[in-house]
A and B are shown apart, each in its own frame.
Chain A
Amino acid sequence: MPFLIRGSDLTEIVIPTFTPRQLAWKRFIGHKAAVVCSIVLVLLALAVILSPLTARYGVNESVKAPPNSYLSPSKLAWLGTDDIGRDLYSRLIYGTRVSLLIGLCSAFISVFVGCVVGAIAGFRGGRFDDVIMRVTDLFLAFPFLVALLVVRNMFGSVDWLTFIIGDMSSLRFIIFLLSFFGWMGVARIVRGQVLALKEREFIEAARAAGASRSYIIKRHLLPNSIGPIMVALTFSVVGAISGEATLSFFGYGPQPGAGATSLGLLVGQAKGAVQTGFWWIALFPCLILVLISLCINFIGDALRDATDPRLDATK
């Protein structure tokens, strides 16, 4: 029988169509490791937000009357106790809370500033672009800890600045400091994206229709760069969390006051516990920090795959 297509057959064929957002979502869901990581992160975030329920002891509370220091993990203290008898499990929850707060705040500031600067640099080009990119190149090539410490002390010595962002041991100061370094990577990514987009026809059309520069950036360039910006956001969170941890590790981090702690401070305590063999104090804070950065890295990678339009859309 000859192969014939009648017009009525064609109405039967339904070609599934997806918006780019649906496609990205489908691809993200297909990335199993990222889904698992998302679930882990959500659980962790819930545990941290609901800390009054999930923590078993107060941040400064001893698990029992002395002798209570360096108890190994038991029913009384699931992950053991520290040098003055405080429950490590509860302190990890409080510490993760502070670290996530620092990471998120600093990442949002970095991404906001990075988007503005990167978009303007890419869109205007010229001298401004040259200078901005040279500066970011230089900062990004500098050893991170050295730059962080030198700039930290410089900011800390300026009176009007510490009046606004608090002194060197406050959370605000650390968030500001990490954002100060964080925006550069984002700016570079956004700039590259804007450079690629700005020659496209739809931008030309917008310009022909009389759209202003800021309108084009806000309505066309940034929304079309949302994929890379999301990826940059996830990596900024990791960068800020590990930046805080590095600073705290060497004793230059925030001092949240009244026994409050952060992951970095807990990892810093781990350093002292190694030689004495209290393995739980060394191991658990490290594991949580690695778990968080591993999860966010996986999610960022999956987001990059999911939002990259050059990849095969049908898979």
Chain B
Amino acid sequence: MFRFALRRSAWAIPTLFLVTFLVYIALRMGTDPLASYMRSNPRATRSKIAQYKELNGLGSNFVTGYFSWLQNFVTFNWPRSIKGSREVWPELKDALANSARLGAAATTVGVSIGLTIGIFAALRPGGKRDVAVNTVAFVGISIPPYISSILLQLLFAVYWSKWFGSTLFPTSGVYPPGQDGFNLVLMLKHMALPTVVVAIQIIAVYSRYMRSSLLDVLNSDYMRTARSKGLSEFRVLMRHGVRNALIPVITIAALDIGAIVGGLIITENIFDYPGTGKYFLSAFANGDFPLLMPLMVIIVGSVLLFNLIADLSYAILDPRIRLD
């Protein structure tokens, strides 16, 4: 087990380099940093451009360019953003913190609701509750986040205030304009709608996972054994049913992190929420290579990390799986 973990982790490191190299090439080709630099500094002299090129290793081929970028990146000597020449890290840090807050809230709400209704659906397959949960999950999957955002905005930004005369949930930003300092209630109110949008996706997906996984478990022999030992039905369900059903769900959850981040990116943009999604799209629109690359490294890193966690969690949680 330990050797398996070690081998998998060891593999993740070359993969990280390979993938960041590919992303580096894709970004260098797609959002040419030199062209962006010249676009946002139209009066830059030729020597200034040459200096910028030299400093960021843009003149050479992709391989040496990558290594000079990597050296700067690892030594935390990050180039400033092309547009506005701002420091990258403070901005990225804020965006990450905001996204993490939203992501954590949505995941907590989504997973707890999703798992609960998944369990209820699995208890009586084919029953009324099951059909209802399935239908709701289907509708949830079929509504892309930008559409639920638009519909919620329409309801709360326009019609709520028209019908009831006051705004219940604001539809953009983290705080109203002019607000200084920390205010939990205001923050929660601003987070409510984006959280709902992302949570809808999570609920739809997880209720289905949980339902099918629990259905598999409920038919197994150890459930009958547990019942015949005289355990209460609730204990049988929670201790023997749900605990075992969670194993594949956790594995899928770890692999699903990309989908959640993707949902966040879309949602943040619509609600004007200052997280990584806004950061990414505005940097992408400006072709701002120095802003994009660190974010990409973080995304690639977390995708690999969660892949690793998925592999390991499966082996750790299910004692029936033996690895060399």
Contact B158 A144 (CB under 8 A): no
Stretch at the interface among B29-37, B65-73, B104-112, B215-223: B29-37
A286–B150 CB distance below 8 A: yes
Within 8 A of A (CB), among B269-324: 269-270, 280-281, 284, 296, 299-300, 303, 306-307
Query: Interface residues of A, CB < 8 Å — how many?
Result: 41
Which residues from chain A contact B159 at a C-beta distance below 8 Å? Answer: 279
Map CB proximity to B onto A126-145 as digits: 1 under 8 Å, 0 otherwise: 00000000000110111111
A220-254 residues at the B interface, CB under 8 angstroms: 238, 242, 245-246, 249-250
Query: Do B144 and A151 touch across chains, with their CB atoms under 8 A apart?
Result: no
- Whole-angstrom distance from the CB of B64 to the nearest CB of chain A? 20
A150 within 8 A of B: yes
Q: State whether A143 touches B261 (Cβ < 8 A).
A: yes
B188 in contact (CB, < 8 A) = no
Please indicate the chain B residues that have their CB under 8 angstroms from the CB of A242 in the complex: 144
Known: A141-B258, A146-B280, A267-B147. A153 touches B154 (CB 8 A): no
Summed over the interface, the residue pairs from A and B with CB atoms below 8 Å come to a total of 112
Q: Does B258 lie within 8 Å of A142, measured CB to CB? A: yes
* A157 interface contact, C-beta 8 A: yes
* Contact (Cβ within 8 A) A153 B29: yes
A286 to B270 Cα, complex, angstroms: 15
Q: Mark A96-130, 1 if CB is under 8 A from B, else 0.
A: 00000000000000000000000000000000000
Q: Which residue from chain A places its CB closest to the CB of B32 in the assembled complex?
A: A157
**Contact, CB under 8 Å: B262 / A294:** no
- Residues of A near any B CB (own CB < 8 A): 137-138, 140-146, 149-154, 156-158, 238, 242, 245-246, 249-250, 267, 270-271, 274-275, 277, 279, 282-283, 286, 289-290, 293-294, 297-298, 301
Residues of B in contact with A (beta carbons under 8 Å apart): 15, 19, 23, 25-27, 29-32, 138-139, 141-144, 146-147, 150-151, 153-154, 157-159, 255, 257-259, 261-262, 265-266, 269-270, 280-281, 284, 296, 299-300, 303, 306-307
CB pairs A–B below 8 angstroms (19 shown):
A138-B19, A142-B299, A145-B266, A146-B265, A146-B280, A146-B296, A150-B30, A152-B30, A153-B26, A153-B31, A157-B29, A267-B146, A267-B147, A275-B153, A279-B158, A279-B159, A282-B150, A289-B144, A290-B142
